[in-house]
DNA sequence: AGCATAGATGGTAGCGCTACCATTTCTTAT
DNA sequence: ATAAGAAATGGTAGCGCTACCATCTATGCT
């Protein structure tokens, strides 16, 4: 074995600088991309392809000097691994599918940002599928997402459709449902109880001696459940029954806007002039209510208390400052990502079902 | 060839219902996913795998009856194609990489929503990489994105880093730069001129006889260029020179918030009590300015005119309604997607460089 | 010294799909 | 009737990577 310095018959081509590699011309035009492949790097470094793979994916299993040579070859060739090939061979795509109503919802934004960031730090990319409010295209999207063989799927809310549930379970991909609670999650869960929020807000306003509470809500399933929780608590506390049979409600199109907040207050005032508190399904609606109240000369909170939801970055700076419900959106994103990353790395997930809770942020408006 | 009804020796197993396929047990546990593959569908339908592939990817090239049988087999088996394998074989990943400062910016949201939607309709998925304001991790992200061999890359703003430009060009992937203009795009471009917006706003306010214009801007490169355009036009129009050497400016952290709008007005008023117009780099900042003005009893627009940017969904409903700059964000998203889709389908791109322009939406605040 | 064990590396054989070209059958024109 | 072409389908050979196991060397232990 003269001329070989290492074990198993690998040619060493130490000082060749081939950039682009010599064979590239021959390959281009038929199939393939004409790009540098792992074998090109391996030849230049004088190792087997699998060793290059290990340098990239399991650095601890390669000797320091070998690793150095391989890295140098990677730099010289400008090699960028092909994750399609890697994913196919290893059944690990390092891709995450997130199903969201729309990426343009201010309430969820901080969550998706944190989710993307946490996954990114662990070598994953996130692709978003928009289901639309109401989740119309959820089932269809699940199919096209599964086609990518993602290492995890993050859902907004609970998956209700039985066919969607079945598909997800059969696909055998880790799933995290978020932003809601259920005793029967598909797999993992990071959320909180919308009913409890409604109840807590009712109790808070009851404590503030408000007796005629109204609700302005976007046509969104979870917002409606908060309103239902509020109405139930109001009845229990004897609020709703004082004058009216139920909590007056104004339903606006999702997502809630400042304009629908204004319209909501106008409508409620016309129908129920005596209301002394308005609970909104988003801070934007609440801001609209406060602006409309100001335009009408109605003092907030003196005559009408206003409560928002989301604790968006403007809530502390409105006049008066907005009392609202804070949910730790970034924490939901981080925890959801952690669940999937832990599972992917074979670790057992410490808490597969997490209730992150919520808090009422007491400011001036209520 | 007794027993064969079609051309080339394919066994027909018409009435077998195998779900999961018979071989699955044998495969599971070693390699592969144990899932239904294209060959399973092909056997059940009595055709070659390539025919199943054609039914899915080029339906017109398959006879109606064959297509029917294949689709039935797909339904019976619950087959979901593996896009990793397909992408590797065809060099078409049907994946798009979008590099954004953060997915949580209200100004860009409508664009990413439309982008995702348009691509989704054409069979593509979009993955977002967050570069951070200032694009700190842009170069690094480009590398990990190229590893996925996306069929297109969408950038926010112009790519300035030479190394990033080189990588993108070498990767030979269609690139669209967005939300800005340059005479030297990497490839394609859908945007508008930030300098022109600044100039147009200056001219608009000049027309309204405003002579002491101030600026509140987020620390964002494009916002700063709008401010620069405004300052230049102000000087040219003789505004800036009337009393001060330059347009007073307050720079807030990105992204601009209602709170920093309030702080900005407070600061500007202290330093330049005579200002009669405030131009903001986002509608949120502008809303903050108006709220602060109202708190101080300063009438808008009588004493101070306010101009925003973005024409967000609340701009028409503030009191007074906000005069702002509208950029057709959804159009940018749609056009950018169209560019890449056209290129991917081998069509020539009608307009590889598009200036979508902007408009000043005249409302009550200025 | 002799043997077991750990550490480092390599050869082979796929992962599941589609490009490419070949083959067969059916039309249409001459 | 026959050539020439179009339409439908299939066989083979990869795409670029990693799982699996084999191999070889260094190290520690009796």
C-beta of residue B214 within 8 angstroms of C-beta of residue B179: no
Rounded CA separation A68/A105 (Å): 46
B53 CB closer than 7 A to any strand C atom: yes
A151 plus A210 within the same structural domain: no
Kindly state whether residues B227 and B318 are assigned to the same domain: yes
Q: What is the 3-state secondary structure (H, E, C) of A24-54?
A: HHHHCCCCCCCCCCHHHHHHHHCCCHHHHHH
Position A8 in a domain: no
Do residues B186 and B334 share a domain?
yes
Does B310 lie in the same domain as B204?
yes
pLDDT at residue A30, rounded to an integer:
54
**In the structure, how far is the CA atom of residue B9 from the C1' atom of nucleotide C22, in angstroms?**
15
B207 and B227 belong to one structural domain: yes
- The whole-number average pLDDT for the span A304-324 is 97
Do B236 and B320 sit in the same domain of this protein?
yes
Q: Which nucleotide's C1' sits nearest to the alpha carbon of B83?
A: C17
Look at strands A249-252 and A213-218 and give their pairing: parallel
- Which residue, of A14, A46, A81, is where some domain finishes? A81
- Which among A84, A109, A284 has the least Cβ separation from residue B87? A84
Residue of B nearest to A261 (CA): B317
Last residue of a domain, one of B56, B81, B106: B81
CA-to-CA separations, B301 to B268, B320, B365, in angstroms, rounded: 16, 8, 5
* Same-domain pairing of B265 and B229: yes
Return mean pLDDT, chain B.
Answer: 90
Cα–Cα nearest to A285, from A321, A318, A252, A317 = A252
A3 lies in some domain: no
**Which residue has better confidence, B205 or B346?**
B205
Residue of B88, B96, B117 to mutate when probing chain A, most A C-beta within 10 A: B88
Q: For residues A230 and A309, is the Cβ–Cβ distance under 8 A?
A: no
CATH number at residue A64: 1.10.260.40
Give B345's pLDDT tier (boundaries 50, 70, 90): confident
Q: Same structural domain for residues A45 and A149? A: no
Question: Over 60: is that where the pLDDT of A29 sits?
Answer: no
Q: What is the mean pLDDT of residues A1-24?
A: 38
Domain-located, residue B160: yes
Q: Which domain holds residue A178?
A: 92-192+330-358
**B148 in a domain, yes or no?**
yes
The answer to whether residue B184 is domain-embedded is yes
Determine the pLDDT at residue A231: 93
For range B301-315, the mean pLDDT = 97
Q: Is residue A12 part of a domain?
A: no
CATH number at residue B98: 3.40.50.2300
B10 Cβ neighbours under 8 A, 6+ residues apart: B4, B46, B47, B48
* Predicted local confidence at residue B322, as pLDDT: 98
Looking at the structure, tell me whether residues B105 and B61 fall in a common domain: no
pLDDT tens-digit readout, B226-244: 999 999 999 999 886 555 5
Please, which pLDDT band fits residue A240 given cuts at 50, 70 and 90? Answer: low
Question: Is B281's pLDDT higher than 50?
Answer: yes
Q: Do B313 and A171 touch (CB under 8 A)?
A: no
- In angstroms, rounded to a whole number, what is the distance separating the alpha carbons of residues A330 and A113? 7
- Distance (Å) from CA B77 to C1' C24? 29
Looking at residue A4, what is its pLDDT?
Answer: 33
Strand D nucleotides, any atom under 7 Å from protein beta carbons: they are: 7-12, 14-20, 23-25
**Residue B359, strand partner residues:** B326
Q: Which of residues 305-344 of A touch B (CB under 8 A)?
A: 313-314, 316-319
- Domains contained in chain A, number: 3
Give Cα separations from B7 to A27, A147, B1, B2, B41 (angstroms): 34, 31, 9, 12, 18
Determine the Cα–Cα distance for residues B69 and B14; give it in Å rounded to an integer: 9
CA distance B55 to B160: 44
For residue A201, tell me if it sits in a domain.
Answer: yes
Residues A212 and A277 in one domain: yes
CA–CA distance, B318 with A208 (Å, rounded to integer)? 29
Residues of A in contact with B130 (CB under 8 A): 113, 116-117, 120
Q: Is the pLDDT of residue B341 over 80?
A: yes
Cα–chain-centroid distance for residue B73?
38
Output the average pLDDT for chain A. 90
- Give the strand pairing for A324-326 and A359-361: antiparallel
Cβ–Cβ < 8 Å for B240, B246 = yes
DSSP letters for B241-302: HHH-SS--EEEEPSSP-HHHHHHHHHHHHHH-TT--EEEESSHHHHHHHHHHHHHHT--TTT
Question: Per residue in B121-180, pLDDT tens?
Answer: 999 999 999 998 777 789 999 999 999 999 999 999 998 889 999 999 999 999 999 999
Give the pLDDT band (50/70/90) at residue A10: very low
Q: Are residues A217 and A260 in the same domain?
A: yes
Cross-chain CB nearest to B258 (options A95, A295, A317): A317
Q: Are residues A152 and A216 located together in one domain of the fold?
A: no
User: Is B68 among the domain residues?
Assistant: yes
For residue A264, give the 3-state DSSP assignment: helix
Q: Are A143 and A112 in contact (CB under 8 A)?
A: no
- Using the 3D structure, point to which of B81, B110, B130 is the last residue of a domain: B81
Residue A245 has a pLDDT of 59
Mean pLDDT to the nearest integer, A132-141: 84
Q: How far is the CA of B60 from the C1' of D5 (A)?
A: 19
B32 touches chain A (CB under 8 A): yes
pLDDT score at B346? 84
Is any atom of nucleic acid chain C found less than 7 Å from the CB of residue B78?
no
Lowest mean pLDDT, pick from A215-229, A325-339, A343-357: A343-357
Q: How confident is the model at residue A221, as a pLDDT?
A: 92
- Tens-place pLDDT, residues A275-310: 999 999 999 999 999 999 999 999 999 999 999 999
């Amino acid at each position: 074995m003269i001329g070989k310095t290492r074990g198993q018959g690998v040619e060493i081509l130490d000082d060749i600088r081939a950039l682009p590699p010599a064979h590239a011309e021959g390959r281009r035009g038929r199939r393939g991309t004409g790009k540098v492949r792992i074998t090109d790097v391996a030849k230049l470094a004088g190792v087997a392809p699998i060793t290059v793979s290990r340098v990239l994916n399991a650095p601890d299993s390669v000797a320091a000097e070998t690793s150095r040579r391989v890295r140098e070859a990677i730099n010289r060739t400008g090699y960028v691994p092909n994750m399609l090939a890697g994913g196919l061979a290893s059944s690990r795509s390092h891709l995450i599918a997130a199903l969201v109503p729309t990426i343009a919802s201010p309430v969820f934004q901080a969550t998706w940002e944190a989710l993307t960031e946490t996954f990114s730090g662990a070598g994953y990319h996130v692709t978003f599928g928009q289901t639309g409010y109401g989740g119309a295209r959820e089932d269809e999207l699940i199919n096209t997402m599964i086609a990518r063989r993602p290492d995890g799927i993050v859902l907004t809310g609970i998956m209700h459709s039985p066919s969607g549930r079945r598909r997800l379970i059969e696909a055998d991909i880790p799933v995290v449902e978020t932003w809601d609670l259920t005793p029967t999650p598909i797999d993992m869960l990071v959320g909180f109880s919308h009913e409890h929020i409604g109840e807590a807000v009712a109790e808070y306003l009851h404590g503030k001696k408000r007796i005629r509470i109204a609700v302005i809500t976007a046509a969104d399933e979870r917002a409606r459940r908060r309103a239902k929780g509020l109405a139930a608590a109001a009845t229990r506390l004897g609020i709703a029954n004082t004058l009216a049979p139920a909590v007056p409600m104004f339903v606006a199109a999702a997502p809630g806007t400042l304009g629908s907040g204004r319209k909501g207050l106008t409508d409620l005032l016309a129908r129920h002039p005596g209301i002394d508190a308005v609970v909104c399904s988003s801070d934007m609606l609440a801001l609209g209510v406060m602006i409309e109240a100001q335009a009408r000369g109605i003092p907030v909170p003196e005559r009408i208390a206003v409560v928002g939801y989301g604790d968006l970055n403007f809530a502390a700076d409105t006049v008066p400052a907005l009392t609202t419900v804070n949910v730790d959106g970034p924490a939901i994103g981080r925890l959801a990502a952690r669940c999937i990353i832990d599972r992917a790395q074979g670790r057992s997930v410490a808490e597969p079902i997490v209730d992150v809770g919520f808090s009422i942020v007491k400011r001036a408006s209520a």
